[in-house]
Structure 1
């Protein structure tokens, strides 16, 4: 497994070339690890990049120009080897380009660049999607970082940036249902409990908050900021010692989805030869 390590005086980060996946984020002063170890007993990933779809397509299929294609959950980028195109002591940039194989399942010419940069106590992740073709391109992109929880799950809480109604959509058979629920909150703080995730991820289509802080015994531990991202997923598995805070552009299909990728709920449309940029910041507190 090929990886690249970047460091500054506060943090170190390690990124797998497969999937350009962040697999470690440590504080230098105490060597504390903040990214889930990827134990397959629970979940064998750390922080996959979701592209060119987020979530699940109905029957794992979609249509484009009256032709049907098949894409598995969260797309193919997380399983492909990226090229390391720039490396500095505190930053690394990775690139994935469309190939003959990707064009068979996703008929758009693209380049996906992911840049990791350490800035004091923060990791800045830059996502860039380039439409290299002559056709408008439909895509989704999302982050899926799993943060390691070393204490009992119930000792943690999520603090949202703003006080707001925390209304989330439920999943059914990996697709989005019409059912919504509202989180019971203590002001803007949500105590963690595995029962919250009995029906899979909590999916927030609309959220005024643009950051979430993980609290350990009411003390801020880590903040994830997602100014550009319109949607958010929060997920874990029963008894798993991690929590995923997942900013997204897009989400799973609904049961009444037409199947046309250009009409998909939450899809991003990128004009030919144009570039899409978004940023995410993980701050160790």
Structure 2
């Protein structure tokens, strides 16, 4: 386990999946990050790569071959190597090997940087295509979960979600595990939304953010604490809690990609939301978490 700290924060990161394990402020005893529970959701903040969401039948076709890949890709279940570290920053890396090639036939390097900057955890992903001749096709996303209620006092229903810009958004609806982007619904976020478990009866609430700066704030209205997740250039941001079994957490998920469309034909070259990276090129993605 890797521990980062500065005058305001103490953060722990697991090398397995480069997954956040703990987020605490120095001035209180609150654990902001969901601690995982095998009875509900046993993860905490997985990295989604090289896919976001589920593929139809957990498979896709590329280059006349069929590849099998479970929901959200394999990066979350593989160890990252530390390549740089200071007391308040760490850079970790994962790259392709013979095992990844069985599910994903591309060369890649995925670096994740966690840095404590005053009272924020700044998180950056850098995807590089080391291939000399093949375009890398991938998606990437984050899936941090936060305790709600934060102190264990009260109920899930005391959680409020507010966003900036505070306006109406196109909400992508899920049909089972797959997105139905051709039939979006409007969701009015001019005012804060009081959360309850039934709001997640169709899985995640997916905001179509279209590459803008989007901020989601979760507030435990009894404790008067919460988290602010700032996202930059995302295509979608998912807000999710488990349903119909329930647990006291909410995830805010910056996505540069999305689950298969209900009409997907299984061909990777046609898949919605995928990014294409030319040989020897690099793309960068960024978001931040501020506990308060």
Common fold by TM > 0.5: yes
Alpha-carbon distance in 1 for matches of 2:109, 2:275:
15
What are the within-5 Å matches in structure 2 for residues 153-232 of structure 1? 153-177=156-180, 178-183=182-187, 185=189, 187-206=190-209, 210-217=214-221, 219=224, 221-232=226-237
The answer as to 2:23 corresponding to 1:31 is: no
Alpha-carbon distance in 2 for matches of 1:163, 1:10:
29
Runs of 5+ consecutive residues of structure 2 not aligned to the other structure: none
Deviation at 1:28, TM superposition (A): 1.1
Aligned length: 282
Deviation at 1:263, TM superposition (A): 2.1
Match in the other structure for 2:261: 254
Deviation at 1:128, TM superposition (A): 0.5
TM-score normalised by structure 2 residue count: 0.92
Structure 1 pair 240/179, CA: closer, same or farther in 2 (3 Å)?
A: farther
TM-score normalised by structure 1 residue count: 0.94
Give deviations 1:216-264, integer Å, cap 9, x for gaps.
2284622100112121111001431110000101111012112221321
Deviation at 1:209, TM superposition (A): 5.5
Runs of 5+ consecutive residues of structure 1 not aligned to the other structure: none
Alpha-carbon distance in 2 for matches of 1:220, 1:211:
16
207-216 vs 22-31, which deviates more?
207-216
The answer as to 2:241 corresponding to 1:241 is: no
CA RMSD between the two structures: 1.6
Equivalent residue of 2:285, what SS?
A: strand
